[in-house]
Structures are given as structure tokens and as C-alpha cells.
Structure 1
Amino acid sequence: MMGARFGIWLEKMERNVLHFPKTLILLVLMLCALSLHYAAGHLGIDTDTTKMLSEELPFRQDRERLVAAFPQDEQAVLVVIDAEIPEKTTEALSYLGERFRAEEQHIESVFIPGEGEFFDRHGLLYLKLEELNELADTLAEAQPFVGTLAEDNSLKGLLSIIELAITTEGRELPVDLNPLLEKISQAMRAAQTGEQYQLSWQQMIFGGDAKMLTTQRFIVLQPKLDYSALVPTERALTSIRTIVEEAKAQFPDVRIRLTGEVVLEHDELESVESSATMASIFSLILVCLTLLIGLRSLRLVLITFVVLLMGLALTVGFATFAIGHLNLISISFAVLYIGIGVDYAIQISLRYRELLRQNFTQFQALMEAVHKVAPSIALCALTAAAGFFSFMPTAYVGVSELGVIAGGGMFIALIISLTVLPALLILFPLNPATVKLDRSTFPQWVYHFPMQHRTAIKWTAISLTLVSLAFLTQVRFDFNPLNLRDPDSESLSTFRELLDTKQTSPFTLTVLAHSKEEAEQTAQRLAALGSVENAITVLNFVPENQEEKLAVLQDLSLMLGLPISTFPPVLDDTLENHKQALERFLTRIEESLAADPANVLAGSLRQLRDDVKRLLKALETLPEAKQAALLDQLQNSLLGTLKTSMDRLLQGLLADVVSLDALPKDLLERWLNAAGVYRVQAFPRKNLNDHENLKEFIADVRTVSINATDLPVIYLESGNAVVEAFQKALIGALLAISIVLLVMHRNIKDASLILLPLLMMSILTAASTVLLDNPFNFANIIVIPLLMGLGVNSGIYIMLRLRAMPDREQDVLNTSTARAVVFCNLTTLCSFVSMAFTPHLGLASMGLLLSIGLILIILTSLLVLPAFACKPLKPSS
């Protein structure tokens, strides 16, 4: 009954519509223009990836609670600053902090851990009591050294102190003398060659391994994002990167990098755009060549493109009406529409060519092509739409919305293909004389191959399927989006570098506590876990043993006896004083070596003697201005950081009692909010670049709190939610397609045979992900709806054509239907195959998976399906 009604509709269209092709095309063009105008005014693009999954999912609710309690780190940019010495790091940090705070238009907030007046004054209290006592002992011994330089902070003053140490028996310096002598030698060599060199007095006095002397610092920025723009981070990141580039020019020996989730996603978008642009140019050439070879007519190619563009314009209007916006998943509806919609146009066009070769008139060939092909493409549209609509109930909102748009687009593609395409062919018909010159592409044995070797094909297909089924137990989903991005990008390489460390890993987990006692207990339980390196709360920022530490600092202040609050800068000494100091220093070195040639400093002193001689000799060849500049550079290389180091020390001696309320506001609000919610942060012990380590870390922390959240949980649970959503959607799609086929065919065998290419392709494609180590991920899993639509469509076309052929004409491969199946899938393949060679790993995995799936669709539809569906050929009488 449904088929009869469809036939009546086709006849009415033939009589009432296609007799007025110009009017029809004009009306459709007006409708397309109206659709695009409506979309331009109402269709938005929501690039907020946090909305891609249902808000009802537990892990999403946990994340929302964290963001509501501590919103400062949401969508943050992490600036990583590295230098060879801590003074340079601090200098660049201060410059960047000042510039970022001034950029209020694009930056919401700036947070620099461990920076500011509070930490300058109280930083020494965060040392362990044993460490502070060791520092106090070292500085007590250094008192004469410090006092001398406070009176004469110059090259002459420094060298005079070292002279006493190497010539006076029993005289010691507060620093290890061998490293200091080596650094003076390096400074002299650098001055002669014009290279930059800076001696770190913090490392010399406090010790190179001191925790407070890190050469890597961080700035956390919260950019102002504009979600109404296609790229919400564009303006903010452009401003941030401009400041960073200026800082790099200001501090050429400091390494400054950007990372964090915002930067990673932005860099990924740029990588996708550049990769897609490169792939699109190559793909467009391949698609055009494929269509020209398949349709054998430039006119048909152009008509096909026009039909696709019209349908796409109407689908955009439907998306605007049905959803109102596009997300980063549903924006791929255009790819799905073209991949499947071009199939309908190719089927009609090739059947039209086939009938022209059989001496039908233009109009007869066109009408007969529509009558013959319409039932199969209508069934394809119905099954494809049913498959897409089955994605609607899933928790994966991005795919759910894609299902609505793509499902509606299938019916639009059907209607456009049955109306506009014939109308265009009436206005621009093919030349029958040219069409009749077509010849078969391959020899006849190729077209008879599936029937002549049906037994071998069937057993081969069954064997491959059974073997592939064994691999399905090893199919996995790679939930880590870091593995999809360009590994050479600065943001990703920096992020992975931080993951390698225990104290700077951005993959931490957070538990919320609602009282001080709960926070302390939670931190203790977390710290006891095997996979947790440390767990901290705001209480860790209140130093322990403050009374004892303050007493040590008070004694140290009295012992140093400096009557100054800031250390004097380097003196602007004369050229003559510099040269006299070097000559006297050379004399003292030679005296020391002559007195004791085997002492522990002998090796360093000999090297230093030679460097001083070379420097003095080089000065003789230079004019006085250049001599002065060279020696000023040497003095600055050796003493330029001393004032900073001593000022920090002097400021630290003024520490007083630190309470919770005394902590800086920007620090306190990140750990304890106004509602009394405490943040407990767990740091991983193992490298979380490893998937198993990350799962273990999450599982362990969840034994303490099931509501623990942060990036690791988001990544893991998002992957689980996507897998579950696709499993439900694919089962639903398969059931929906099966029901439609059974209702339309009322024949279990035929319905099963139509599903055969789809099922076999799915099993083999899944097995290929194991064999090629190309696991399912957030990127390539999106091609599954397209493969499903194309797989069932190909089965429908071949099966219906087989049933419409006489028993003895079972060489279905030599028909326009088979040709259309091949070239439709090849067209889609050409659209994506170039992605497999792009630097973006997500696109590459997508291109590879889709290419494998499309090749399998062609093979299963044209070889396996005919072998199972056809009866053995009987010899002719």
C-alpha cells in the first residue's frame, strides 16, 4: 500500500510539477534564499564544549559544584616561565604580571602563585625548621662577606673578599669556593665573547637545590571569553600572546610558554583549520575527478553540485528551526548530508544515463529513472533518518542534536533529488549520441565474479568476520583528548612536560569539604593513598612551628647586623679600579698556587688564572670605551643579582605570625570560599601521561570521595559517557533500521541481506582499530553515523536491483546501481582520505577509520551481498 501511494505521488509530480521545471527551480531557489536569510539571523554557534554532554550526568554535576565554589581556575590559561637562574625567572614573572594586569579588556584575573609582598616577607617561614637553621648557620658565616659587599658592592669588593679566602689560612666563605671560582671564569669568558651570562647569588648562598629557588614559575590567567564568536578565545589569546612575544624580546634568555585547557583547545582548533584546509584542497580535486569519472559528464557533475547546495541551504534552515544553534559536533551535519545526499543524485543520474543507452527518449529516460530509483532512495532516506533520529535520546547532546539535523536532512535530500534534479535534467539534458558511446569499464568476467565464485566469497566473508569478532574484545576508546592533538604544538608539549612531574602536574583531583575538620581528615586520607604524592588545603599555607622559626629569623637579623633595609646596588666604578682589581687578583692567585700547588682549589685557580690573563691581554687591544664596557659587563654578570637576593633575604627577616586570615585574598579565595567550602587538592605520584596510572589515580581518590572531580575525571567520564551514548544509539539505530526494512519488505531474508554489508563492515572496521592501533576516540567516533548510513544504503540499492533483475541477469555489477554505489562511496572516501595524512592526530584517525569503512562498504556490497543473495547460475539451454 505504501509503495502504491508513493507511485501515485510520483505520477502526480510527473504530470503537475516536472512539466514546469523553471517554475519549480525558481520556487526552490526562493525557498533556499529564505532559509539562508532565516539562518543568518537566528542560527548561533555554541563552541562551549562543556555543553556537549548532558548536565544530568553525575560527573558534570560534580564539576559544576566545583566551578560554582571556585570559579577562578575555570577556562584558565597557564603561563609557564623558565630561566637558567631564579632571578631571571622572577624578573620576567614580574614584568608579565604587570603587563597582564594592565590588560583588563581581555583578561578577567591574574594569579601568580608565590608572588607578592606577602611571600617576599613570609617566604622563609615556609622552609622546614631544619632547613631554616641550616640557612641561618650559612648566613652567620657569611656576615663578614655580606658586610664587605654592603660597603663596596663592586668587582673590586668581590675580588678582594675572594683574595682573602685563598691567601689567608683558615679563612672560609659562606659558599662553596670551587663553584664560585668556576662561575667567575665563565663570566670572564662570556664577557670576552659578548655572550650573556648571569651568576645567581640566590643559588650560591641559599643552595642550588633549595625549594624556594625554583627556576620555573607560573601565571594563571582567566581570559574573557566571547561565546557568541566562532572562536571565543581568539581575542583574549591574541592579546596574551602579544604580551608574551614582547616579554620574549625583553628577556631573550627566558623561555615563556602558554598551555592549559583553553590554549590546548584553541591550538587544536587552529591545527584542525590548517589541516582541514590542506586536506580540503586535495579532497576537492579528488572528488571532482571521481564524479567526472563516475558520471562521465561535466554537466551532470555541475547539476549534482547545484542539487547538493540547494539541499544544504534548506537543511541549514531546518537546523535553525529545529535546534537554533550548532555545536562542534552537529556542525558536521554538512559532511553527513553531502556524503549521503550525493548518493541519491548519483543513483538517479546514472540510471538516467543507462536508460538513454537503451534508446529511451529524454523525458522517458528521466521519468523511468525516477520511477525505478525512487523506491530505493526513499527507503534509504527512511532508514538513514531512523538511524540518525535514534541518537536523540542519548546523553551526548552534541550527537543528539546532530541526529535531529542529519535525520531531517535526509528527507530534504530525498525531496530535492526527486524534484529539482529531474527538473534540471529537463532543462539541461544529456546528448544521447554521446551517452551511447559509453563502454564497459572492465571485462565481463569482473562483473560475473561474485556469482561465479560465490562459495569462496561466502566462506571468506564468514571466516574474516569470525576472526574479526575475536578482536572485538580488544577494541578500546581512547578518552584522552591530548592524544588527538598535534604533538608538536607548544601548548601540548608543555602540558605533557608538566604531567611528567609530581608537583606541577595539571592533572590533579579536587574534593570539596564543608568544614576545617573535614578538610584536614580528607587531606590525610588522600595523602595516605599509594597513587597520591601529596594532598593540600588552605591550611597548608599557614606555616608550622612559627614561634621557633621567628626566633631563628630574629637571631639571624641581629647576627647580620646590617643597618640597612635594602641592599645597595652595584657601584658604578672606574675603569682604572676594575683593571687594578683584576691585576691584584691575578697576583693573589699566583701566590696561592705557589704556596700550595696541591690544594683543593688548585684546578679551579689555574683555570681562573688563565682566564684573567686572557682578559687582561684582550683589554690591551681595545680602546678605553670598549674596555670600560667589557668590565662593566663582567661586574654586572657577577654582581647584578646580588641586590635582588639580599633584598629578598632582608625582607624575609621581617616576617611575623601568619594566620589564615592574613593570607593574600587571591590565594585564600582559591582554597576557601565565602560560604566556608574548603578545596582539598590531590597531586598524583605517577606520570599521568600513562592511561593506567591515570585510571588508578582516579579510582584511589574516589575511595575517599566519590565526588572527586577535575580534568582527569572530566576526560575519563566524558569518554565513558560518549561510549555509552554511542552504544545505545547504535543499538537503537540498528533496531530502527531493521524495523523499517521488515515493515517495507515483509521478508526477513531480504531485510537480513540488506543489513549484511552494514554488519560485516562494522565488525571488520572495529577490528581494524585494534590491528592498526587506531582506537576509537572523540574525533573518529563521529564517522560512525556516516558509515552506518552509507552501509545500509548500499545494501538497499544492490538488494533491490538484484530483486528487480531477471534470474539470468544477475551480473548486478554491470549496472548503473553498482556503479553509483562505487562512485558515491569513492566520492565520500576522496573527501576524507587526505585527512589521514594531516598532522592533527584526531583528523588523521578519522580519515583512516572512514577510509577503511568505505572500502569495506564497497567490497561487502558488491561482492559479499550478491554472493549471499543470488542463486547459482544455471547453464543456458
Structure 2
Amino acid sequence: MTISAKASHSRIYDIFARWSTISYRYGAWILFGALLTAVASSVYVSRNLGMNTDTTDMLSEHLPFRVNMKHYNKTFPQDMETLLVVLDAPTPEQAYMAADRLVARLKEDTTNFHDVYPPNVNDFFARNGLLYQNLPELEQITDSLAAAQPLIAHIVRDPTLPAFVSVLSGAVDELRKGRSMELQPVLSGLSTTLDARLASAPRVLSWQSLFHGEPQKSKYQELIVVKPRLDYTLMFPAEQSIAALHAAAKDTGVTKDGPVRLRITGEVALAEEELNSSLRGMEYAGMITFILVAVVLYFAMRTAGLIFNVLLCLTMGLILTAAFATAVVGHLNLISIAFAVLYIGLGADFAIHFLLRYREVLENGLPPTEAAHISGGDAGAALTACTITNAIGFYAFMPTDYSGVAELGIISGTGMIISLLVTLTLGPALLRYLPKRPPKTSITKGSVGKVLEWSLKWHKLTYAATAVAAIAAIALLPQVRFDYNLLNMQDQTGEAVRTFRELLADTDHSPWHAVVLAKDHQETKRLAQRLAELPEVSKVITILDFVPAEQEEKLQLVEEMALTMGPISVSSKAQATGEDTSLRQRKALDELAAALDRFIAERPGHPASGTVRTLKASLTSLFVQLDAASTDEKRKLLNAIEEDLLATLPIALRSLHTATEAAPFKEQDLPASLGGRWHSQSGEYRLAVYPAEDLNDNEALRRFVRAVQEVAPNATGAPIVSLDAGEAVVKAFVQAFLLALLGIVVALLIILRSVKYMLLVLTPLLLSSLFTAAFTILLNVPFNFANIIALPLLLGLGIDSSLHMVHRSLNNEMVSEVLIHTSTARAIFYSALTALVDFASLMLSSHQGTASIGIMLTVGLTFTLICTLVILPAILRTPVRSANSTSP
């Protein structure tokens, strides 16, 4: 080292040596002041620190995709910050009625909801729904109703099980005699309904499906778009609205044990679920970290007093950093909330280096006062350099467009400065009241140094292995990828995520679609045509699609349907005694079974014979169960079957009657609740552009977004936001990494006054970053919006270890064989181990983004430790000897 560099280190040494001595001497006053400061800071934080859960605030509002999204949200405000309510039911009638009741209830609650919009549940679609069918489909419905009309006419006069089954028996006999009838849908529906009831999983028969001549599906859905009132002063802004939604569902009969199932997803629900899993992950990580850190500290310190010292310094530093965050930023976000776990790992590094140096001096026989003086000077000089480089690593986030991480940068960067001051103020003060005699067992020649001797003994092998690993990592680098899918960061077991992924599987109604705004009708048609021609696009929907074509032809079919059905209304059930009803029900079922037997015997090759045999098997199973049941059990079972078969008939008939009242309409006749979502008050038209591929594939996402943007540069929507936000994040972190690297290089040149030693310090960092990036490929853990903080962060973290090694070797002119047995090497090992258990605990989080941060940091810090304690000592062999021979 040069004389000026030594002089500079000497001044820093003197400052912190005196600082530590003063802190040691006036320990009582310092501890009392620290207690008051901690109490005041804790009260201040608890009363003033907020939580900003609005993820849109995490990127600069000046980015193009945010400008486009902001304009869209202003033009169609009803589409932003919404909940998507999904109602699942065994029949379309049950789903529709449940949605209708729930919508009416939610619209009454203006305290919790701004707007409630059911896309399919309204009078307009109930009346004109048939016009949205194409002509072949409408003709099929008309034919099905014509064929079913006699059956329906009989049942509506006597809506009971005996009447239904008797009519069906007659129809089967007519079919056996050669009459052309389409009975398979109703026979199949009856069989499925019976089997479900016998299996104790009741499933109501859908008459609407029968009217349409289509098989009944296993599940039907209705969606409701709800715009809740959000309170961002709360930790969970939509908590009250979601609770009110669940209460409304319960009030309208949608319960957990009922046939209709309620699920909630959408933008707001996903954000609430993500915050919950993120906080839960941090809570578990924090508890586990403190326990594991205490275990590591035991092996590092071997005395309860020094362990207590580290933990108290950590706690004090954490409180002061939180107070700084409250005063300067005012809130935490979903990323900056990680500062607490990060601080535990980093803050322990400062205390461990100071206290192990103190113990080493005590082992050399010096008194505690002198030990505090020397350890304060030695550790202070090294920790100052580490603080500067660490802070630079964090502060490098601040100029980027990723404001969410910029806040983490300013909080954590300042936290490093706070940690330095707390360690060298509170640490010496605590030492005065701890046992002052040196420990009986010296750890100077510990197991850490013995293990590290291997790399020096086989240094050529170390060089070769490092070179091979570096070449292999460089070869893997082109495969490094970024995951733009925000869903992949969340807890995959959460209801909102699972429901959203299920909706994505339906490409015709995927919530992930692009949105384009057009100024007028002409531009809407032009853009729709151009976008629809793209191979990456499956369809484009505009307000024009809500005015069906060929209305005159369709209305003729609707009129024919109305004439066929006639003025049908369902009569009330006649009251009868239980025993009499049960006998009639069983007799009708026996007659149906006999009719089925006759059909099977006489028409074995008929196209309907398979369906008939299936129904006969279902009836046989029913008879076995009825014969084994008591009188009361028989009555309950038969009444339940009657309810399963006929419950939806009145609803289906009312819907059908309403649908036959369709009338021609134009765009201006569309209801305001529908038209306002496609044509804004400012005159702009909305186009929904649906992808042809599964956007869970990042390459498909990129193809779709770029293709749409070629036609409509100002397009927005979830796919565009995900891709452009991801690229903005990558750009921000590349910028942060380069700024951090540049800042650290300048700082090291100032501190070390040597390019050679600056490169020695950086070598382990660059190697560990290279190996970490390669391992993201091998572990299949791609970079994402959360874990991308690892690389620039590791640059700031890992610089500590290599800087401590180089600083100690130069300041004390030690060769590597001696250096690896010093407190510095042990402190590096145990500090890294402390940080490792800190970061590894994040992997236990159910939030996949948080867990991936833990994986990335754990892998990165492991490589940093290897590069610093195995590779760097081998490299230092030659330079240090040269330095020893030339130092003045």
C-alpha cells in the first residue's frame, strides 16, 4: 500500500478506535440513551408507518405502458380495480338465478361497492339472447323445442314425478314402435340425475339444456364484475368489501354446502391474496431467521454475552431503520417490506466482525479497554469501507424507473450506515457490562481455517476448477430468462390464483387480453379488421359485435318457436298424502322400467339403445336402494328425485318465454351498462383483442403483444403491462447493476488506491454473480419481478467479504496461510452463514416471488462465500507476497 493510503486508513482507525473507547467508557449513558431512542422510534413507527399495496405505483408513471394504461383507466374507469365473482352451479338455471339474486343484493350496498356489472344477467340479454345464436344453432333449438313440446305440455299441467315418468314411458313406447323422436338428451339427463342422487352427490336436471338440445355439462358459470370501494389506509384495502361480498352471498343462499359455489378473483383479489401470502412469508421468515441466527451466533461466539450483543445491535438497528423509512418514505410496499429480513442478515455481519476481532484481541492477553480500542479501530476501518460499498449497491436502485425497489434501496442503503453506527456505539457500550475475562478455549485455530487450508494446498486445482466453472457458466448465460407472468410469483394454492388460471384456460373469455382504443366507428372497424387478421389473435370484440346480424331471419325462427310452445305456464303441485304419493311415484318408475325393457328387447340396434340401457341400469340401482329402505326413507328419496328432475322447469320456461319476446335493435338501443363499457363518454371505442395462444408461455406473450403493438402502438391491457413492465424492470436492474459496479469500483479505488487490489476485491463478486446466473438455469428458477433484486444486491453484499479479506491482508501484511486462521476469515464465514439462514428462510414462504428471492440469494451468497474463502486466498498468494516485498 502507498503511504497516503496507509495514512488514510490510520485516520479512520483512530476515529473509530476513539469512538469505541468513548462508547465503552460511557456505556451506561449510551445504553440509557439507546433505550429511550428505541422506545420513541418504536412508537413513531407504529403510529406513522403506512403500507402502500398499490402495485401500479412501483414503476415510473412516465413509462409509455403506464401512460397508455392511465389513459385507458381514465376513459373506462369502471374496468380498473375490480373483483371478478365466479358462480359455479350444476345447471345454467341455478347459476343465473344465484347471480341475479346476488347482483340485486350487491347493488343495494353502496357503502362497499361502486358498481356491479353482470355481463349475462340482465333483462336485455334475457329477452334478446336467442338473436346472438347463429342461424343453424337457432334452427336446432327450434326443432328441439318442437319435438319436446308434447312432453312439456303434459308435465306443466302436472309437474310431478309420476306425470313426468309416465309421459316418458309413452315416448319410449312410441320410439319402440318406429316413431322418429329425439329422446336421448332427456333419457341421458334422467339417468345422470338418478345416479348423482344415489351417489349422495345430487345434481339437478337442466331443462334449459334439454330445450337447446344439448347435453348437460358438469358445470355452468356466471360472472359478476364488482368494483369495490378500496381503503388504502388499511393493510388490506379491499378487506371490508370482500367480507361484505361473502356476507351478501350467504344472505342470498350461496353457501359452502349449497349447490352453487362462490369464488372471487380479479385484479383486486389477486393483489389482496398476494399481500397476504407475502406478509405471511415474511412473518415466518422473520421468526425462523432469529432462531437460526441465534444458533449460528452460538457457534461463532461461544458466549451468551456476545450473542446477546449481536441480537441487541440487530434489534436497535432494525428499529432505527424502520424509523428512517417512516420519516423519509412514509410507507412500505410489497418489495421494500423485505428490508427487515435483509437487514437481519446484513446487520449481523457488522456486529460479528467487530465482536470476533474483540475476542481475538482478548485472546492475545490485552485488557478489555485496549481490546475495545483496537477492535473498534480495526473493524471500524474495514466496516466503513463495506458500508460505503453496501450503501452504493442499494442506492444504485434509486435512479431507476422501478420506484418500488428504489424505496427498498434508500431504506436498506441507509440501514447499512445505521448498522455501522449502532455496532460501533452500542456494541462497545454493552461490552463493558459483559464478562471481561478471555474465554478458556481459544478458537484461533478453528475448523474453518483448517478446511480452508485445502484450497491453498491444492491451489492449482482451485485455479483449474474455477476456470472450468467460469467457462461453463458463460456458456449457459444465453439461456438466462425472465418470467413476465405475475401469476407465477403468487401462492399457487390461493383461491384467487386457481380461479384466475381456470378462467385463462377458456381462450374465448380469457381475462388476459389486449385493449385498444379507437376514436370513432370507422377506426374501430379498421382496427378490428387488421387485428383479426393477425395469426397471434383469435378474435376481436367491439361494441359492433353486440348488434347481431341477420336479425330478421332469426326473429322469424323466434316467432315460430313462440307459436310452437304456446302460452305455457307451470301449474302448482297437487297436495297428496306421503304414502299415496310414494306409491304413485314407484308405480310410474316401474312402468318406465318395463317400457325400457320392451325397447331393449325389440330394438337392440337402435341408435338410442345405449342411452336406454344406461337409464335401465340407473333405475335398477334405484329400485335396489328403495327396496332396502324404510317407508320414510323411500318417501324422502323419491321426493328428492322429483325435486332434482323438475326444480328448474319453471325457471327454464320463464326464460324461454322471455326469449321469445325478442325485437330488432341497433347500437343505440343497447343498455347503458353494456354500451358504457365499449363506448366511453368521451367518444372513444374499446376493442378487446384475444390471443390465439396460451399467454402463460412467455414467448407466446411476447409474440402476441408485439404483433398487437405493430397495429396499435397505444394498446394496453394485462399482457402488454406484464411484458412492458418486465422489460422496464430488467432495464432498471441492468442500470442499477452497472451503477452499483461503477460506484463500487470508484469507492474501492479511493479506499485501496490500487487497481490491482480493486480487481482482487471484485473478482469473487463477478465470479459469484456469473455462477448465480448460471444456476438459475440449472434450478429452473428464472428471474422475475421479485428475485431480480438478487444480482445487484449480491454485488453490494458480497463485496463485504472480499473487501475484509483484502483489507486485512494488506493492513496487517498477512500471507494467505495466516489470513485464513484469523478472526476475519471466521467472521466472513459466520456472517455469510448468518445471511444464508436469513435468506434461506425466505424459501419457506408460500409467496413464490418471496421464495424465489430466497433461492436466488441463498445460491448467490453460497457462491460468494466459496469465491471469497476458497478462490480469493489462492489468488492472494502471489499478490500479497509481492506486496510484502515492496511495501515501505
TM-score normalised according to structure 1 size: 0.92
Corresponding position: 1:470 with 2:475: yes
Residue 210 of structure 2 corresponds to: 204
- The CA RMSD over aligned residues, in Å, is 3.1
Name the CA distance, whole Å, in 1 between partners of 2:761 and 2:19. Answer: 29
Query: What do the CA deviations read for 1:331-372 (whole angstroms, capped 9, x no partner)?
Result: 222233332222121111111110111110110111011112
Name the CA distance, whole Å, in 1 between partners of 2:813 and 2:107. Answer: 80
Distance 1:755 1:140, change over 3 A: same
Query: What do the CA deviations read for 1:497-549 (whole angstroms, capped 9, x no partner)?
Result: 22222212111110011212211221121111112111111121122222232
Residue 512 of structure 2 corresponds to: 507
Aligned partner of 2:327: which letter?
A: F
Aligned partner of 2:447: which letter?
A: F
Name the CA distance, whole Å, in 1 between partners of 2:614 and 2:459. Answer: 86
User: For 1:228-307, what aligned pairs fall within 5 Å after superposition?
Assistant: 228-243=233-248, 247=253, 249=255, 252-307=258-313
Residue 223 of structure 1 corresponds to: 228
User: For 1:109-124, what aligned pairs fall within 5 Å after superposition?
Assistant: 109-124=115-130
Query: What do the CA deviations read for 1:61-80 (whole angstroms, capped 9, x no partner)?
Result: 11111111112222222222
Q: Where do 5+ consecutive residues of structure 2 fail to align?
A: 1-6, 882-888
Distance 1:435 1:109, change over 3 A: farther
Residue 827 of structure 2 corresponds to: 820
Give the one of 823, 832, 841 matched to 2:839. 832
Aligned partner of 1:298: which letter?
A: A
Secondary structure of the residue aligned to 2:820 is helix
Corresponding position: 1:526 with 2:531: yes
Q: Is the 8 A contact 1:258 1:491 kept in 2?
A: yes
Residue 341 of structure 1 corresponds to: 347
Q: Is the 8 A contact 1:136 1:552 kept in 2?
A: yes
Structure 1 position 814, deviation (Å) = 0.5
Name the CA distance, whole Å, in 1 between partners of 2:753 and 2:621. Answer: 99
Residue 79 of structure 2 corresponds to: 73
Query: What do the CA deviations read for 1:350-405 (whole angstroms, capped 9, x no partner)?
Result: 11110111110110111011112211111111121222222211000011122222
Name the CA distance, whole Å, in 1 between partners of 2:868 and 2:97. Answer: 67
Residue 732 of structure 1 corresponds to: 739
Secondary structure of the residue aligned to 2:508 is coil
Matched residues, number: 872
Residue 101 of structure 1 corresponds to: 107
Structure 1 position 84, deviation (Å) = 3.2
Name the CA distance, whole Å, in 1 between partners of 2:31 and 2:699. Answer: 59
Query: What do the CA deviations read for 1:245-303 (whole angstroms, capped 9, x no partner)?
Result: 77553763344322223222322333334444444444333211100110121101111
Give the one of 138, 145, 148 matched to 1:132. 138
Q: Is the 8 A contact 1:538 1:672 kept in 2?
A: yes
Give the one of 423, 428, 431 matched to 1:422. 428
Q: Is the 8 A contact 2:476 2:777 kept in 1?
A: yes
Distance 1:474 1:630, change over 3 A: closer
Distance 1:500 1:15, change over 3 A: closer
Q: Is the 8 A contact 2:21 2:372 kept in 1?
A: no
Structure 1 position 713, deviation (Å) = 1.3
Name the CA distance, whole Å, in 1 between partners of 2:13 and 2:346. Answer: 23
Structure 1 position 163, deviation (Å) = 4.1
Q: Is the 8 A contact 1:142 1:173 kept in 2?
A: no
Name the CA distance, whole Å, in 2 between partners of 1:852 and 1:430. Answer: 38
Structure 1 position 183, deviation (Å) = 3.7
Q: Is the 8 A contact 1:268 1:485 kept in 2?
A: yes
User: For 1:552-631, what aligned pairs fall within 5 Å after superposition?
Assistant: 552-562=557-567, 564=568, 566-569=569-572, 571-572=574-575, 575=581, 577-578=584-585, 581-582=588-589, 585=592, 627-631=634-638
Name the CA distance, whole Å, in 2 between partners of 1:31 and 1:340. Answer: 22
Name the CA distance, whole Å, in 1 between partners of 2:423 and 2:500. Answer: 49
Aligned partner of 2:675: which letter?
A: L
Secondary structure of the residue aligned to 1:420 is helix
Residue 551 of structure 1 corresponds to: 556
Aligned partner of 1:423: which letter?
A: A
Residue 22 of structure 1 corresponds to: 28
Distance 1:594 1:342, change over 3 A: closer
Aligned partner of 2:125: which letter?
A: F
Corresponding position: 1:784 with 2:784: no
Aligned partner of 1:441: which letter?
A: G
Distance 1:612 1:479, change over 3 A: closer
Name the CA distance, whole Å, in 1 between partners of 2:194 and 2:453. Answer: 86
Aligned partner of 1:155: which letter?
A: L
Corresponding position: 1:863 with 2:847: no
Aligned partner of 2:783: which letter?
A: F
Structure 1 position 705, deviation (Å) = 0.3
Name the CA distance, whole Å, in 2 between partners of 1:614 and 1:30. Answer: 79
Aligned partner of 1:742: which letter?
A: L
Residue 673 of structure 1 corresponds to: 680
TM-score normalised according to structure 2 size: 0.91
Secondary structure of the residue aligned to 1:115 is coil
Q: Is the 8 A contact 2:394 2:793 kept in 1?
A: no
Give the one of 655, 658, 662 matched to 2:665. 658
Query: What do the CA deviations read for 1:213-256 (whole angstroms, capped 9, x no partner)?
Result: 98222122222222112222333333334555775537633443
Distance 1:410 1:167, change over 3 A: closer
Secondary structure of the residue aligned to 2:563 is helix
Aligned partner of 2:424: which letter?
A: L
Structure 1 position 99, deviation (Å) = 4.1
Q: Is the 8 A contact 2:196 2:202 kept in 1?
A: yes
Name the CA distance, whole Å, in 2 between partners of 1:40 and 1:611. Answer: 65
Aligned partner of 1:321: which letter?
A: A
Aligned partner of 1:287: which letter?
A: V
Name the CA distance, whole Å, in 2 between partners of 1:451 and 1:585. Answer: 91
Aligned partner of 1:547: which letter?
A: E
Greater shift in the superposed pair: 825-834 or 18-27 = 18-27
Name the CA distance, whole Å, in 2 between partners of 1:771 and 1:194. Answer: 49
Structure 1 position 490, deviation (Å) = 2.8
Give the one of 412, 419, 431 matched to 1:406. 412
Greater shift in the superposed pair: 651-660 or 552-561 = 552-561
Distance 1:600 1:872, change over 3 A: closer
Corresponding position: 1:380 with 2:380: no
Distance 1:372 1:119, change over 3 A: same
Corresponding position: 1:158 with 2:164: yes
Structure 1 position 191, deviation (Å) = 6.0
Query: What do the CA deviations read for 1:134-190 (whole angstroms, capped 9, x no partner)?
Result: 323333344434433343333343344334434448989996213423443455566
Greater shift in the superposed pair: 725-734 or 236-245 = 236-245
Aligned partner of 1:705: which letter?
A: A
Name the CA distance, whole Å, in 2 between partners of 1:455 and 1:192. Answer: 76
Structure 1 position 759, deviation (Å) = 1.2
User: For 1:648-797, what aligned pairs fall within 5 Å after superposition?
Assistant: 648-797=655-804
Greater shift in the superposed pair: 43-52 or 489-498 = 489-498
Q: Where do 5+ consecutive residues of structure 1 fail to align?
A: none
Residue 4 of structure 2 corresponds to: none
Distance 1:129 1:828, change over 3 A: same
Distance 1:495 1:622, change over 3 A: closer
Greater shift in the superposed pair: 636-645 or 736-745 = 636-645
Distance 1:73 1:572, change over 3 A: farther
